[in-house]
Structure 1
Amino acid sequence: MELKRGKFQGVLNILSFNRHFYIIGISILLVFGLSLYIINWNITIFWIVIIAFIYGLIAPLIVSAYVYDFSGYYKMSWLNNLKLNSSKITQIVNINAGFDETSFILNKKFETAQIRVFDFYDSRRHTEPAIVRARKVSSVFPNTQQINSRQIPMNNKSADIIFLLSALHEIRSNSEKIDFLKECKRILKPEGHLIIVEHLRDLPNLLAFSFGFTHFFSKKNWLDVLKKARFVETRESKFTPFMSIFVSKI
């Protein structure tokens, strides 16, 4: 089975998984609009607020369409820029937080490698409504294993590449992230790579997601937790202005 993405799947996912924000936002917008007939608003302030609300609702959808539907993210062409030696890759690990749109794609891209897929979602710790909804509709790669974020059931130095694609930010605690990354380091081969793809808490994502950008972490935070997990080398590259690729080695 291969996961087939529909047109504007990224936008539809954002709307579906974060519908509580859109319901609240549209409700507030309607109430504020009706208040014009009750309160003697300064018309300039009124329209500034209206435009700001509309921008806050629409901008994430436009950016999501760009990143997830039109940039080629799910074609994995960005992996070519990392100059990985595919002929020497025998063991791929893909770890998600219960929403998996990439394992089937990676399995096809690295046809000669074995892929193991893990899901670190813990309903007691990872309580974001969006990820709870995403889990209900996610396609599950065969033999996906549910794991604790502090223990990956693999031997030391057994993985060539570990992928964490838009997943690790669901672990909100830095200490939990560090413990998890130490486990990733343990199972990586000496010449292996840890590949993390994330939105950042930075200006482009502030402009795209307004206060929703606080769901992401800063570049400084990612470099700090990777350093504390004792990854000795990390390089960052950009995939669109809104997403960063961190490649770490041990």
Structure 2
Amino acid sequence: MDSTIRKPFQGVTNIILFNWHTFVIALVFLLLLIIGKINFPDNIIITATILVTLLSIALSLVTSLYVYDLTDLYKLRFLDKLISFKPESIVNINAGFDEISEVLKRKYPEAKFSIFDFYDPLLHTEVSIERARKLYKPYPGTEIINTKALPLEEGSVDIILLMFAAHEIRNEDERILFFEQLRKAITIQGMIIVVEHQRDLVNFIAYNIGFFHFYSGKNWLKVFTGAGLKIYKEIKITPFISGYALKKYGTAS
């Protein structure tokens, strides 16, 4: 598939394609409940469980449709609220699935641009990423990297962007080390932009137990401060997604 041009309903379609196993499990569970309802038609608990299961599936799909297809998220306009200067160099880092490099290049045509992919099938074992990589080719010029040894010189990059990528580093120590390297790589005025869902109430309502795949704001703060970074600015891009602009400690706010 072409990863540079978004198609109608691409977001919610990707959610289903990448995570079809979770929907199969939910549907099998629902089928068993329906069989139970047929055998025990007056059982209120079974009826309530069927309704809750249907509502949970519907909410996750409707939320995904809203976030990924009906908002302007992938036009990257939120970057104007986070980035307060004209960057001369940008590094876009993904975890094996890149939907934004083409838009970034168009948004900042004069900036020097690099794309890194840190996906390692031995470390990052999410089956959804594996499926995404099979369906979407890497953006041209993408460089495969190791989270523990980034190929960036100290003070060489104005903006480093991680959109729905950093949470795929499941080991906390690895995440801190990763962000330490990013901190060293940015210029004095440089920023690291992190876009993520949160492990919070609204994402729990939307994605049920799927919200455990995300991290809480408290955990992100622990990682950022542990890496020597401060939150320069934080915004809600949608009710379900947060955007962080990070700077080195000691730089002007």
Structure-2 separation of matches of 1:156 and 1:167? 22
Which residue is equivalent to 2:5?
4
The offset of 1:226, in angstroms, is 0.3
User: Within 5 A, what are the aligned runs for 1:141-180?
Assistant: 141-180=139-178
Structure-1 separation of matches of 2:96 and 2:58? 26
Query: Is 1:214 the counterpart of 2:212 in the alignment?
Result: yes
Which residue is equivalent to 1:103?
101
Structure-1 separation of matches of 2:98 and 2:224? 23
Q: Match of 1:51, SS?
A: helix
The question of whether the paired residues in 2 share the 8 Å contact of 1:150 and 1:179 is answered with yes
Please list the CA deviations of residues 123-176 of structure 1 after superposition, one character each: whole Å capped at 9, or x if unmatched: 111111111111112242221111111111121111000000001110111100
The TM-score with structure 2 as length reference comes to 0.94
Q: Which moved more, 1:164-173 or 1:28-37?
A: 28-37
The offset of 1:179, in angstroms, is 0.6
Which residue is equivalent to 1:35?
36
The question of whether the paired residues in 1 share the 8 Å contact of 2:82 and 2:244 is answered with no
Structure-2 separation of matches of 1:150 and 1:191? 24
Which residue is equivalent to 2:51?
51
Which residue is equivalent to 1:84?
84
Which residue is equivalent to 1:249?
247
Amino acid at match of 2:76: M
Change beyond 3 A, Cα 1:46–1:191: same
Which residue is equivalent to 2:18?
17
Amino acid at match of 2:152: M
* Unaligned runs of at least 5 residues, structure 1: none
Which residue is equivalent to 2:64?
64
Which residue is equivalent to 1:74?
74
Which residue is equivalent to 1:198?
196
Identity %: 40
The offset of 1:83, in angstroms, is 4.5
Which residue is equivalent to 2:136?
138
The question of whether the paired residues in 2 share the 8 Å contact of 1:101 and 1:138 is answered with no
Structure-2 separation of matches of 1:136 and 1:226? 32
The question of whether the paired residues in 2 share the 8 Å contact of 1:161 and 1:193 is answered with yes
Please list the CA deviations of residues 209-248 of structure 1 after superposition, one character each: whole Å capped at 9, or x if unmatched: 0010000000000011000000134432101110000110
Structure-1 separation of matches of 2:64 and 2:25? 20
The offset of 1:67, in angstroms, is 0.8
Q: Match of 1:232, SS?
A: strand
Any runs of at least 4 consecutive aligned residues in structure 1 with deviations exceeding 6 A, and if so which?
none
Structure-1 separation of matches of 2:89 and 2:152? 11
The offset of 1:42, in angstroms, is 4.5
Query: Is 1:189 the counterpart of 2:187 in the alignment?
Result: yes
Q: Match of 2:6, SS?
A: coil
Structure-2 separation of matches of 1:149 and 1:171? 9
The TM-score with structure 1 as length reference comes to 0.95
Please list the CA deviations of residues 160-211 of structure 1 after superposition, one character each: whole Å capped at 9, or x if unmatched: 0000000111011110000100110111001101000000000000000001
The question of whether the paired residues in 1 share the 8 Å contact of 2:83 and 2:245 is answered with no
Which residue is equivalent to 1:223?
221
CA RMSD of aligned residues (A): 1.4
The question of whether the paired residues in 1 share the 8 Å contact of 2:3 and 2:136 is answered with no
